[in-house]
Structure 1
Amino acid sequence: MSTEEDLLANYKKAYDNRVGFGTRPALLLIDFCQAYFEKGNALYAEVDEALASALRIRSVAHAAGIPVILTNVVYHPSGFDGGRFFEKAMPLRNFTQGNPMAAWGPGLEPLETELVVSKQYPSAFFGTSLASTLTAAGVDSVILTGLTTSGCVRASCVDAMSHGFKTAVVAEACGDRHAGPHEANLFDMNAKYADVVSEAEAIAFLETLRPSV
């Protein structure tokens, strides 16, 4: 009978490849909204460290002069534009227009130079102009941070890869409501769709892109 170590070794044998960072990346901060930081909310998760990590990477990304995109989820008060997603996932009611839980998380406010992409579905790419915008800007790769690892980060990861962007997911800059889904989805994304990297790796790469003085 195979042990867990045997199964992991077999999985690694099939999926043990890294594609590396691209040459013209963009940074995405996915759905760092107040609902995830509000104790007592159905979406609450202990993700303060994930946001702190994303903010550190964001600072280096700006110094490197690469595009920074923030995403959020926004629905009509009726939820009509949320379709089956809104019907299925009850906590999405936090993201109707005007709901304070849809505001940006603590310490996060879009800068004038940053693009905000509002969406109604899990992926930052589905039903938005993001792929076209990045392509027109000559972007060849994306670095993903955000919430939640098993939801909108994973969906955005799969779509980023499917649109032809080299994709990196920063482990410490993503978060979820439970360690199990977080780790399982990082494992799966790293196997099939992206390189899962550390904050230190992402920052070291972005440092190489800083304009020379």
Structure 2
Amino acid sequence: MSDDLQANYSKAYSNKSGYGKRPALVLIDFAQAYFDPDNVLYAGVDDALASALRVREAAHAAGVPVILTEVTYQKGLGGKDGGRFFEKALPLKAFMEGERSGGFVEGLVPREDELIVTKQYPSAFFGTSLASTLTAAGHDSVILTGLTTSGCVRASCVDSMSHGFKTIVVAEACGDRHAGPHDANLFDMNAKYADVVSEAEILAYLASLNDTGAAA
């Protein structure tokens, strides 16, 4: 990005929302499909997974709840439960119930104390109980990681903000199949909907919660 363009955006979009008092961490759609070179959804996002796993461990250490999302379409319905999204995005057949490609990638094994949210649309909030669950538990902020930056992460970011949560996106813990959409969407989310931070920043923040017990 040119210095002139950055300066232009900074005039209007340089504000920071900051962190809340009771965050929750969401790992969006780390499915096997994105890591299988033989799958049309392959994105080569191993670095994003490694970053998200480090953030996940830090969240658990700080007592911050962890939510995992997955996409699943009921077998036998032919994608009807995915509506226009399934109709438009043909690769979503990888997430049909029972397909290995739709399962969590190796290295991401859900823990008993982690909430799993099953969704059929891009956002982790749309058509799910996530917002109600977080609100009922008194959470005021959401930390987002996941796949893909330009798709489900962005959709979840917009909905998180729209539901009233301070929203933080961890740049290195998100991934896409191409750097262009990844970088452009991180830039746009940071401008309008969330604070985009580095892995180092979020790890320091979570460590501070661990020190103070603020996440309890």
Q: TM class by shorter-chain length?
A: over 0.9
Q: Which amino acid aligns with 2:49?
A: L
* 1:43-69 Cα deviation digits (max 9, x unpaired): 101100100000001001001111100
Match of 1:118 in 2: 118
Query: Counterparts of 1:163 and 1:42 in 2: how far apart (Å)?
Result: 33
Q: Which amino acid aligns with 1:147?
A: L
1:5, CA displacement in angstroms?
3.2
1:212, CA displacement in angstroms?
5.9
Query: Counterparts of 1:211 and 1:67 in 2: how far apart (Å)?
Result: 16
Match of 2:147 in 1: 147
1:208, CA displacement in angstroms?
1.0
Query: Counterparts of 2:209 and 2:195 in 1: how far apart (Å)?
Result: 19
* Superposition TM-score, scaled by structure 1 size: 0.96
1:70 counterpart = 2:48: no
1:4, CA displacement in angstroms?
4.2
2:18 to 10, 17, 20: 20
Percentage of identical aligned residues: 72
Query: Counterparts of 1:106 and 1:190 in 2: how far apart (Å)?
Result: 30
1:211, CA displacement in angstroms?
5.6
Query: Counterparts of 1:102 and 1:179 in 2: how far apart (Å)?
Result: 23
Query: Counterparts of 1:110 and 1:123 in 2: how far apart (Å)?
Result: 20
Matches within 5 A, 1:47-196: 47-77=45-75, 78-196=78-196
**What SS class does the counterpart of residue 28 from structure 1 fall into?**
strand
**What SS class does the counterpart of residue 116 from structure 2 fall into?**
strand
1:36 to 34, 37, 45: 34
Runs of 4 or more, structure 1, over 6 Å off, are none
Q: Which amino acid aligns with 1:21?
A: Y
Alignment RMSD (CA, Å): 1.3
Q: Which amino acid aligns with 2:207?
A: E
Query: Counterparts of 2:5 and 2:199 in 1: how far apart (Å)?
Result: 28
1:106, CA displacement in angstroms?
2.0
Query: Counterparts of 1:182 and 1:212 in 2: how far apart (Å)?
Result: 34
Match of 1:9 in 2: 7
Q: Which amino acid aligns with 1:154?
A: R
Point out where structure 2 has 5 or more consecutive residues left out of the alignment.
Answer: none
Q: Which amino acid aligns with 1:141?
A: S
Query: Counterparts of 2:177 and 2:185 in 1: how far apart (Å)?
Result: 13
Query: Counterparts of 2:121 and 2:151 in 1: how far apart (Å)?
Result: 10
Point out where structure 1 has 5 or more consecutive residues left out of the alignment.
Answer: none
1:7, CA displacement in angstroms?
2.7
**What SS class does the counterpart of residue 16 from structure 1 fall into?**
coil
**What SS class does the counterpart of residue 208 from structure 1 fall into?**
helix
Q: Which amino acid aligns with 1:187?
A: F
* 1:159-193 Cα deviation digits (max 9, x unpaired): 00000000000000000000000000000000000
Q: Which amino acid aligns with 1:101?
A: S
